[in-house]
Structure 1
């Protein structure tokens, strides 16, 4: 490991680590913004893409639009487009965050060029993330053109999760190299980790199905009938709620396994503590939505916490390879 580090500029690796971390933070802000868009019904706040009501900076008042704007922009929306400055700007800020995320991941890609001759895998990971962000931008346009079709919205969320995973993997690799850190947990925790990640991902996807079910109910009852939404949901809501018990149980079991690994727990204590806190908050926001009329603030928070929990789980999982296996692999490369 030491001879490998001799060929790497310490400033470059720490710069990559910092840029990758900032990009991850930006991604989470974008995910939260997307949750706000859905919870407020602002998804069609801008009825066209990439512009918004035909301009790069959207209007703030209906007087800035032509008198027949509903006919111009409402053709594909069956004439239902109605200008709402709050919803328009919520969607517009979401798009700005998306563009900024693209810039951040491009900066991450540039930061990996310093390792082209030593750790080329950094570049390919960053390039994958950059391509996926481009695809996500294209998919975002389809979310508009398909009028928030449930399948497109769900795929949009799944791609966002994959992008976060790619950036976390890049950050973890850079962090290991920057601070000569190796894995502290064993293969038994790794096997359970696969189940934890898989079941949590299934739970997040079930959550998107519940969100789609809510959209169906909203189209019938309207946004002013929040207190009645839960009563009109189908089996997807009850499946999501019941499955949460399994997810909660296996997460706590996994955290307890890691806790019994002295060195591993010492290195990862902070991440485990935050994972437990986020798991608790995730459960609490789910209860709030189920029993307190699905308040708008809880929806984006619940979504963001779920993706954040997945990210922390992935970091823990990346530390579930035995030290002997990892050191052996490095020595073989050298």
Structure 2
């Protein structure tokens, strides 16, 4: 890789990850402040204008929703820059080019899905899908960052093969946790619009405890992979990465119980959403660290 590539490629990939995380947080802010219909039309904010207008009926909610839409442009630029950077400095690496294209395509899908969400009056199913697609994009962006830190070519397992399989089971459990988390939010008071909230209709208490049960299973799996990585790993990298997953998981659990027992204050719920994105990043890093190239041992 050219010297310029060694400098700029990791910076661009990191910037891409940061903006993917930021748009999840701002999207959460839109939902938690009831600003989901702050711009009641799409792609325009209001009929005849792509930006908020004075004396708009939605009040201050329009600025929060418009801010999130504006950040979509930044995310798009970062995704395009990522594809260009990978093509320019790592064109032979399909392990980087494919996820870069996934992020770019996913951003386009998110824009359309966001429009559908507005036009359907914040249908809870499309809102949940919007969040889960964002988590997939965060995963792809995080993979780019951590995989680019390693050399190209074949990578060998640094742990027992069963540990990697258990790691994939843990990822599946994490996906269930995230999906149930969207149902919890969509069944509670923070379902998107201040005046006419659209909800799933499930009992919030029941869904919350189901979500908590899934989290407990996930925590057990994380501990199992962490211990197994330390016991069977040929290097400490995998064990350290899974320790980070455990740390974020515990922090997430504490915030989750705090929000539940304090009546779901939106600021605490927003922290919970932010930690969810960090958990996805940490989990992606941990899976990458289960393998290493011959030069990385």
TM-score (normalised: structure 1): 0.77
- Which of the pair has more CA radius of gyration? 1
Q: How does 1:133-172 map to 2 (within 5 A)?
A: 133-172=107-146
Match of 1:264 in 2: 235
Match of 2:148 in 1: 174
Judging changes above 3 Å, is the alpha-carbon distance between structure 1 residues 119 and 250 closer, same or farther for their aligned structure 2 residues?
closer
Q: Does 1:316 align with 2:286?
A: yes
Cα distance in 1 for partners of 2:160, 2:274 equals 29
Cα distance in 1 for partners of 2:192, 2:134 equals 25
Judging changes above 3 Å, is the alpha-carbon distance between structure 1 residues 42 and 11 closer, same or farther for their aligned structure 2 residues?
same
Match of 2:221 in 1: 250
Please report how far the alpha carbon of residue 169 of structure 1 lies from its aligned counterpart in structure 2 after TM superposition. Answer: 2.3
Moved over 6 A (4+): 216-223
Cα distance in 2 for partners of 1:160, 1:113 equals 23
Match of 1:129 in 2: 103
2:24–2:134 contact (8 Å) kept in structure 1: yes
Q: CA RMSD in A?
A: 3.0
Q: How does 1:90-101 map to 2 (within 5 A)?
A: 90-101=64-75
Q: How does 1:58-73 map to 2 (within 5 A)?
A: 58-59=52-53, 61-62=54-55, 65=56
Cα distance in 1 for partners of 2:78, 2:190 equals 35
Match of 2:209 in 1: 238
Match of 1:55 in 2: 49
Secondary structure in 1 matching 2:226: helix
Secondary structure in 1 matching 2:176: helix
2:229–2:239 contact (8 Å) kept in structure 1: no
Q: How does 1:1-334 map to 2 (within 5 A)?
A: 8-53=1-46, 54-59=48-53, 61-62=54-55, 65=56, 82-85=57-60, 87-115=61-89, 118-177=92-151, 184-215=158-189, 233=204, 235-261=206-232, 263-265=234-236, 267-268=237-238, 271-321=241-291, 327=294
1:23–1:104 contact (8 Å) kept in structure 2: yes
Cα distance in 2 for partners of 1:161, 1:16 equals 22
Cα distance in 1 for partners of 2:191, 2:123 equals 14
Judging changes above 3 Å, is the alpha-carbon distance between structure 1 residues 221 and 49 closer, same or farther for their aligned structure 2 residues?
closer
1:13–1:177 contact (8 Å) kept in structure 2: no
TM-score (normalised: structure 2): 0.86
Encode CA deviations 1:297-326: one digit per residue, 9 max, x unaligned. Answer: 1112112212221221121112223x5xx5
Q: Which has the higher helix share?
A: 1
Give unpaired runs (5+ residues) of structure 2: none
Secondary structure in 2 matching 1:297: helix
Judging changes above 3 Å, is the alpha-carbon distance between structure 1 residues 191 and 234 closer, same or farther for their aligned structure 2 residues?
same
Aligned residues: 289
